[in-house]
């Protein structure tokens, strides 16, 4: 079993238990993709598998799981709320490369500078964040331009030991996801037109930023080519603009 398979298995089982989970369409050609990388004894198969779900309050729940041997394991797991809820995004980037582990875990806010929003969605998870930090110290610099898209409970760490990922990171992942689903349970739909517009714009800002700056772009391009990669990013991973255009045409 690969390093992040237990994370994915846990998440799907929990979502099935807590939500009325339905499939989310994955465009043809993206369910699974493999490539052979390296040469000779260092040759490896890289397999990328995609998962997509939706639920009444959640527009898209999706995962990209990359398995490329011991030195390349990635799980990108993101939950996007429906546009008529002010829920944050759930974001987990779990990355193992030859140089080590990179872990980013957060409930990414729609409105970073809104104190009421932070009281509602960040304050309740600060104890989880603080408990995790005892075992998972701050991972150092990350881009200044990214800061508006992360909460004060952003868990960013670079564990030295694989065992730390399998234990402390896994426990933090479970706790964040459980807390997120509690927020989903409590969420009430937005009805006011101006608030709906602000929420939609905030979602689009986040998706555009993530699609433009996706750190996996270089990796996927190397494995599968630029055309597949751009279509994967815009047509599945961050597909809100595409789906809005499709709805508008109907």
66 Cα distance to chain centroid: 14
Residue whose pair of structure tokens reads 């807590």 in the numeric block:
18
- Domain extents for the chain? 5-191
Q: Looking at residues 120-139, what average pLDDT do you find?
A: 95
* 244 pLDDT more than 80: no
Residue 246: predicted pLDDT: 58
Q: Check residue 241 and give its pLDDT.
A: 86
Lowest-confidence region among 49-53, 150-154, 179-183, 239-243 = 239-243
117: enclosing H helix or E strand: helix 115-121
Contacts of 50 (CB under 8 A, 6+ apart): 26, 30, 31, 32, 62, 63, 64, 65, 236
Class for the domain spanning 5-191: alpha beta
Of the pLDDT bands very low, low, confident and very high (cuts 50, 70, 90), residue 36 is confident
Is residue 77 scored above 60 in pLDDT? yes
Q: Is residue 33 predicted with pLDDT exceeding 80? A: yes
Which is higher by pLDDT, 176 or 214? 176
pLDDT at 139 over 60: yes
> Which has more confidence, 137 or 10?
10
Nearest CA to 169 out of 139, 143, 124, 196 is that of: 139
């Amino acid at each position: 079993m690969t390093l992040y398979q237990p994370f994915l298995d846990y998440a799907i089982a929990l979502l099935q238990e807590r939500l009325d989970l339905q499939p989310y369409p994955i465009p043809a050609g993206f369910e699974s993709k493999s490539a052979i990388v390296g040469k000779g004894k260092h040759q490896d198969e890289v397999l990328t598998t995609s998962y997509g779900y939706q639920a009444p309050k959640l527009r898209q729940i999706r995962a990209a799981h990359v398995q490329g041997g011991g030195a390349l394991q990635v799980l990108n797991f993101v939950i996007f709320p429906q546009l008529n809820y002010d829920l944050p995004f759930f974001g987990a980037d779990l990355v193992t490369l030859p140089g080590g582990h990179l872990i980013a875990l957060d409930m990414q806010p729609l409105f970073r500078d809104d104190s009421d929003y932070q009281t509602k969605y960040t304050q309740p998870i600060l104890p989880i964040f603080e408990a995790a930090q005892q075992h998972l110290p701050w991972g150092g610099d990350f881009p200044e331009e990214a800061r508006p898209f992360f909460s004060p409970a952003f868990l960013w760490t670079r564990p030295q030991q694989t065992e730390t990922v399998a234990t402390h990171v896994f426990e933090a992942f479970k706790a964040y996801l459980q807390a997120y689903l509690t927020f989903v349970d409590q969420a009430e739909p937005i009805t006011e037109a101006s608030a709906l517009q602000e929420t939609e714009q905030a979602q689009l800002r986040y998706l555009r930023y993530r699609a433009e700056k996706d750190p996996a772009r270089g990796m996927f391009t190397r494995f599968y080519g630029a055309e597949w990669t751009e279509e994967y990013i815009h047509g599945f991973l961050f597909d809100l603009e595409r789906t809005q255009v499709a709805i508008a045409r109907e």
